[in-house]
Structure 1
């Protein structure tokens, strides 16, 4: 799918008859993400390069989408997880519905939020992006709109009319497209138990410098045994300690980098993950959560305080292989102002 999308985006870029691209899923998901179980099977068979090559192509697609000269309208009517977020959030228009369900669940799998998410999660106001990336929290369409992951909210029953109107508009003008989508959209009410009502605590705790400090802050705030805080602490303690530490650093570095540099750095990180020389948590996490499904991963190191700064640094270093290259992103031309701002 990644290969085919990349082909289509490149072909449509040169086709003057194509004014915009509409991306949607088939069935109950927009896209539930990459087949990490297949990547793990390759790793266990001694072929980590196969998985790394997949990520190389996927990250290239993310960059093409992020810097595309024509508007992309992603209709997020269903599950939007992991790679599904990378195939949509980088585009200019993201339409959520009452069926939308967003999550970056990588820390529970021994991975980290990738596909350029250190760029877009770090640009969510406050420290909500750190919360979403570290906990794998699930957001509905209203919450996606509230934090900026979605640009519009359209009821699913009106999507066919929206597509028809976009095709009829036959325009590449972002103002025209935005106006067209707005005719079908509204601002939905957040649910009473929405995590978005916890922004004060999230910003206070997830702004802390380290994972240990974040958990410590949550524990201090939990003096009245708040169910949501308790659940958040448990989620963090169940995740891979290594994943948590590299994820936090990745998002923090992403605050100061353009999307291209974020993707190049994330590719270095994911190559270290699939090689498994620093930690084998990715294989173990996928075993526990996706393959055997015992939901009881044995992380190594098992404790957050046992993940050293030196270990974290290694994930951000260039791969020490003579025959391996960093991610080389395509040279972009005819960029829009929206795309230039991302570089």
Structure 2
């Protein structure tokens, strides 16, 4: 081929590649919007990619939510995913890693700006917003769902914040919702990237309701028929929606035990309450070495040690520091601080290294992290400190809503009773354990899951005094290694 023709052919190929790339980033069908009476639905429509969230999808969803917020015709918003496998498996991190490798870190930072703006808008939205967490719900998908006042898990739900597996940190507001989980469950999920499936997403409070996936289409049609008066406030509207959802509950699976429960849950609180990774590892080793320990707890401790050593050492340290600072942050400050942390990860190498190995090259061997192992980081080193310093040179995240809060506004009304709720009731010193359970069953109108969750909390955290009155206890004493 003549040189001129060869050059023209290469130029044409580059043009086609660029056009294809732009088309992929701005697919007109990657999000579907639908109006049905008073219901407005958003359907993430990339089922072949497990509905992974990209910039094109965010650029469509955000203005539509802003538009519906002003509309008198939009009563209820439903966020869902296309196909049976996933609600949303996360952000399109492979694209971000490729941008970083090509020196386009600012494009990655801009992506997080748009994503966090959307997540904060959802967290502060002033109309009923319902997330169908049907299928894989991870990372970016959690940001689209966990901040909603109504969150529905199904038998197909698989929840995780998997960021420590790819050299990142639990973002999309994880600094807010994970530390506010009972005990150290959130810290455990943040550092290990452990998965929760099906009804366990409901038991932990990450979902407010549990339905079979086959009920969702009927529920959506019923929600479209709801009518509200102009003077109905947000709590009143959500109460009607909550009652409507409860009509479709068909019971909990009998063959799926509660995961974060019993002695394993006590061990999680003992081990992950520490403020350094080295102390957490030492606590796990003590659990494993204790010969009088429950064999299931010993096996869990060994597994958890192995898992932590597979994660990015930098990410594990950052995630732990994040879990300790997060309870002090409001929802707005959370996203502003996470934006700074994300920008620093984009400018570094750990995220790009992890995503390239895990998701692009799909290497079967361990990722070559830097530092390589948790043991390579000395106890006196504070490698996470720089991630939490506010860098004035980085652009500030401009949020789309002025609403702010330090606790989720509706978490107690529509979800299951929490450990904190039970502790407050017990601390009054006026009830037997059976009376405490009956109180919550009546308060929640026999909502499914109340019996199971409150009974587990009572069995694990409550004893009876000589008068039969419920007394709160803890199980934070560390087991002693025996020879």
Q: Give the RMSD, CA atoms, in angstroms.
A: 2.1
Q: 1:214 pairs with 266, 280, 304, which one? A: 280
Give structure 1 stretches of 5+ with no counterpart.
none
Residue in 1 aligned with 2:209?
152
**Equivalent residue, structure 2, for 1:327:** 397
- Tell me by how many angstroms 1:284 deviates: 1.3
Q: Identify the match of residue 248 of structure 2 among 163, 174, 184.
A: 184
The within-5 A match list for 1:60-139 is 60-139=117-196
TM-score (norm 2): 0.66
Greater shift, 304-313 or 21-30, is seen at 304-313
Partner of 1:15: 71
Could you tell me how far 1:170 is from its partner in structure 2?
A: 3.2
Cα distance in 1 between the residues matched to 2:167 and 2:404:
39
Higher relative contact order (CA 8 A, sep 6+): 1
Do the aligned residues in 2 keep the contact of 1:241 with 1:301 (CA within 8 Å)?
yes
Task: Give a deviation string over 1:65-93, Cα, whole Å, max 9, x none.
Answer: 00010011101110000000000001110
Where do residues 133-282 of structure 1 align in structure 2 (5 Å cutoff)? Answer: 133-171=190-228, 173-185=237-249, 186-189=251-254, 191-192=256-257, 194-197=259-262, 198-223=264-289, 226-276=298-348, 280-282=349-351
User: For the residues of structure 1 that align with 2:183 and 2:158, how far apart are their CA atoms?
Assistant: 21
Q: CA deviation at 1:36?
A: 0.6
Q: TM-score, normalised by structure 1?
A: 0.92
Corresponding residue pairs, total: 335
Q: Distance in 1 between matches of 2:255 and 2:206?
A: 15
Q: How many Å separate the matches in 2 of 1:287 and 1:333?
A: 38
Cα offset for 1:227? 2.6
Structure 2 unaligned blocks of 5 or more: 1-56, 229-233, 412-483
Corresponding residue of 1:37: 94
Q: If you compute each CA radius of gyration, which structure gives the higher value, 1 or 2?
A: 2
CA offset at residue 292 of structure 1?
A: 1.4
Find the aligned partners of 1:25 and 1:320 in 2 and give their Cα distance.
38
Secondary structure of 1:144's partner?
helix
Q: Distance in 2 between matches of 1:80 and 1:37?
A: 17
For residues 206 and 327 of structure 1, the distance between their equivalents in structure 2, rounded to whole angstroms, comes to 31
CA drift at 1:37: 0.7
Determine if contact 2:159/2:195 at 8 Å carries over to the other structure: yes
